[in-house]
Amino acid sequence: MHDLTRCVQHPEVSHEGFRSLTVPTYRASTITYPDAESFAARGTRGFDGYTYGLHGTPTMRVLEAQMTALHGGVRTVLVPSGQMAVMLVFLTFLAPGDRVLVPDNVYSGVRGACRDYLASRGIECTFYDPLIGAGIADLIDDRTKLVWVESPGSGTMEVQDIPAIAHAAKARGVLVGCDNTWCTPLLFKPLEHGCDFASEALTKYVGGHSDLLLGSITVKDIELRQRMKVVLRAFGVGVSPDEVSLALRGIETMGVRLAHVGRVSETFARRLRDHPLVERVLHPCLPSCPGHEFWARDIKGSGGVFSIVLKPGAEAALNPALTAMKVFAIGASWGGTRSLIAPMAVKGDRAVNPWTNEGAILRISIGLEQEGDLWGDLENLLVALGAGTIQAAA
């Protein structure tokens, strides 16, 4: 064999005796076939078989199977982001003329898609009060094909009565999808509470290190998965095996990370509640959080993300006080090892129940830094806000 041929044909080596605990990262566009017959018949391999790197590699199958097992579903599809996970369900199951019911506190990217893309394609998003519960029945008409839930909701953290919503939707033959990113399947399994789709931004707690973007949708009805795969194929959407490989590493430590940030976020939420500059703490573990009873009934614990509403006036010194923080970073995409803080613009993003609190809202995501360092940084923030408030009043 010529050296040039040797260069492109990797020699086969033994795998005998090699049993690693890690999942190999299989990179592939094309895959090859043992004979012309199997090549010709590749179309019959179905969505569980291998035909092309875009449609699945063994690395992807491992993460899919892991999410499926965690959610108690039958199949999972992977997509390049959490936003795409939500949109894949919308684009697969909604046609022009259809309506989807969306909670008023939905992830801002979904609200943006309703306004900037779906409306012009004849798909109507109707926002509803996240605390509507069984009352969702009154909003379902013949055009309604999907009810979306997200609990706790983005920014304002209302917890939804998902079993009641799902029950009412099912009674009308309407599909129900849940964005479960805050909970992860470790704290809540939407498919066990009547939902048809469990959507996750794996970018957050599964990835866990702020260095990847991925989403997943798990279903308990294989037909729903077939329909989503048809759409992914049509769009030519797949995920990178390297991203999946990072997610497979991240998911191994998700349990200990989530338990830690959940405990610290609850501790901080209780402490912040008593601070004179804090108007409200929005954390599902507190009885004052709207829907707290559903958190206590359905959800097994806490994630690390919650919000505080400052007393009006405290925002005078907010920007420099945030900039001066030493441990918290200012940023939006939570779920990594670093703690984040960010002001949230909620007012313009509520269509059903106008947001009436005047004070600024800060969203806090707890990471893995030492608890005392984090608390000290938050105390410094509040001291700086307090000084600013006094100055503004003088």
Ligand X SMILES: *Cc1c(COP(=O)(O)O)cnc(C)c1O
Encoded one letter per residue, x for contact with ligand X by CB under 6 A and - for no contact, window 305-334 reads: ----------------------------x-
Pairing assessment for the beta strands 75-79 and 215-219 based on DSSP bridges: antiparallel
The nearest distance, CB 202 to ligand X, in angstroms, is: 7
> Is 73 a binder of ligand X (CB under 6 A)?
no
Is there binding between residue 201 and ligand X (CB under 6 A)? yes
Task: Starting at the earlier edge strand, list the strands of the sheet with 99-103.
Answer: 75-79, 215-219, 197-201, 175-179, 144-150, 99-103, 124-128
| 369 close to 297: Cβ distance less than 8 angstroms | no
Q: Could you write out the DSSP letters of every residue in 98-156?
A: -EEEEETT--HHHHHHIIIIIGGGTPEEEEE-TT-GGGGGGG--TTEEEEEEESSPTTT
> For residue 146, which phi and psi values (nearest 5 degrees)?
-150, 135
| Helical residues (DSSP H) of 274-370, grouped into ranges | 292-298, 318-323
- Please tell me whether residue 250 binds ligand X under the rule CB under 6 A: no
Q: Which among 62-70, 199-207, 227-235, 263-271 is the span making contact with ligand X, rule CB under 6 A?
A: 199-207
Residue 290 touching ligand X (CB under 6 A): no
Give me the phi and psi of 244, to 5 degrees please. Answer: -65, -40
Residue for token digits 């409306």?
Answer: 119
CB of 155 vs ligand X, minimal distance in Å:
10
Kindly state the tokens that stand for 18: 């090699």
83 touches ligand X by CB under 6 A: yes
Q: Which residue's beta carbon is nearest to the bound ligand X?
A: 82
Per rule CB under 6 A, count of chain residues that contact ligand X: 15
CB of 60 to ligand X, least distance (A): 16
Question: How many angstroms separate the Cα of 234 from the Cα of each of 168, 238, 282?
Answer: 33, 11, 41
Cβ distance to ligand X smaller for residue 272 or 340: 340
Please answer whether residues 57 and 24 qualify as being in contact, where contact means their C-beta atoms are separated by less than 8 angstroms: no
As to burial, measured by CB atoms within 10 angstroms (0-12 exposed, 13-18 middle, 19+ buried), residue 185 is buried
User: In whole angstroms, what separates CA 247 from the centre of its chain?
Assistant: 14
Q: How far is the CB of 161 from ligand X (least distance, A)?
A: 18
By CB under 6 A, which span of 198-206, 226-234, 276-284, 317-325 interacts with ligand X? Answer: 198-206
Query: Applying CB under 6 A, does 148 fall inside the site for ligand X?
Result: no
Nearer to ligand X, 114 or 384 (CB): 114
Nearer residue to ligand X within complex by CB, 106 or 264? 106
Q: For residue 154, state whether it binds ligand X (rule: CB under 6 A).
A: yes
Q: Three-state DSSP class for 305? A: strand
Output the smallest distance, CB 263 to ligand X, in A. Answer: 20
Do 254 and 186 touch, CB atoms closer than 8 A?
yes
Least separation in angstroms between residue 339's CB and ligand X is 16
Residue 107 lies near ligand X (rule: CB under 6 A):
yes
- Minimum distance of ligand X from residue 111's CB (angstroms): 11
Segment contacting ligand X (CB under 6 A): 41-49, 75-83, 122-130, 269-277?
Answer: 75-83
The region of 77-85, 155-163, 169-177, 338-346 touching ligand X under the rule CB under 6 A is 77-85
Select the span of 4-12, 81-89, 260-268, 349-357 touching ligand X (CB under 6 A).
Answer: 81-89
- The DSSP code for 242 is H
Minimum distance, C-beta of residue 199 to ligand X, in the bound complex (Å): 8
Place of tokens 């050296």: 3
Q: For binding to ligand X (CB under 6 A), which residues are involved?
A: 81-83, 107, 109, 150, 154, 179, 181, 201, 203-204, 213, 215, 333
